[in-house]
Structure 1
Amino acid sequence: MSSATSTTSLPSGLAVLTTFLDVLFIPEIIFGGLVWILVASSKVQLPMLQGWVMFVSVFCFVMSITLLCLYICGAHGGSSSWVTLAVICQETASLFYLSMAVLEAYSTYISFGPANAVMMTVYQENVAAVIFFFLGALLVIYNLYYLCQC
């Protein structure tokens, strides 16, 4: 396995959308946006948890879009230090996504529980947010693994 700081050159311009690694940014952005929307519309009993979940979802969403735009614009100039930057960003995002998925799932279970049928719509929104958090985490972790193979 190669080091993340190898001499791999990253594509720029629209060639970014032809590489497997960068194509994974698109579903990551979509899932990040869905999580952001679902968390904003759901009701969480713990306001501190909701604030942290919103911060993580917005941060990861903006970070993914920024990296993709920088790659498309060619700001990296073929430098291999951008691979290291991408690895650091993906590690941060994977840690955030996994921690938030677990916290959101725990909060949903504690707050509503499957037996509370009165709040079923809110419960389903929170469960959907948890599912998209886990899917986003899987995409980020796979992206990180693929990036480390470069």
Structure 2
Amino acid sequence: MVFGGLVWILVASARVAFPPDQGWVMFVSVFCFVITTLLLILYTAGVQNSSTAWMAVDVFYHFIAAVFYLSCAVLEASDTRFRFIFLNQVLKINIAASVFAFVATLLYTIHAVMSILRWKNSS
């Protein structure tokens, strides 16, 4: 949630060369932030009760979030590279957003793999 929130904040304050790319990155970061917060609240409330259906939802969501964040990280890094090469501007905010998007991708991937292992062990 922390890194996703950082991506959201940094992308909102960044300038990009291609506004549709920024729109996709904002959509994914806000969507994943909201759904992750909702899942955290549900898990804290104990709604899942160690159900295999909830484990499947957890695996599916974190896999989709990892794929979405990977696409965002690549788009953000591509836009940052484009602006740096062709417009010759210092883009610290865009670079930070790219880095945090890659970190969020890594964390969602790790959580998805851990959820798969937990799901296999419970079956």
The TM-score, its normalising length taken from structure 2, stands at 0.91
CA RMSD of aligned residues (A): 1.4
Q: Which runs of 5+ in 1 are unaligned?
A: 1-28
The Cα of 1:55 is off from its aligned counterpart by 0.1
* Counterpart position of 1:17: none
SS of 1:35's equivalent in the other structure is: helix
Number of positions where the alignment pairs a residue of Structure 1 with one of Structure 2: 118
| Residue type at the aligned position of 1:37 | I
Structure 1 stretches of 4+ moved >6 Å: none
Identity across matched positions, percent: 46
The correspondence of residues 1-150 of structure 1 with structure 2, limited to 5 A, is 29-113=1-85, 116=88, 119-120=89-90, 123-150=91-118
| Residue type at the aligned position of 2:94 | N
The TM-score, its normalising length taken from structure 1, stands at 0.75
Partners of 1:109 and 1:31 lie apart in 2 by 21
Give per-residue Cα distances to partners, 1:84-116, cap 9 Å, x unaligned.
Answer: 000110011000011110111011111233982
SS of 1:112's equivalent in the other structure is: helix
Larger radius of gyration: 1
Change (3 A) 1:114 1:125: farther
Q: Which runs of 5+ in 2 are unaligned?
A: 119-123
| Residue type at the aligned position of 1:47 | P
* Counterpart position of 2:121: none
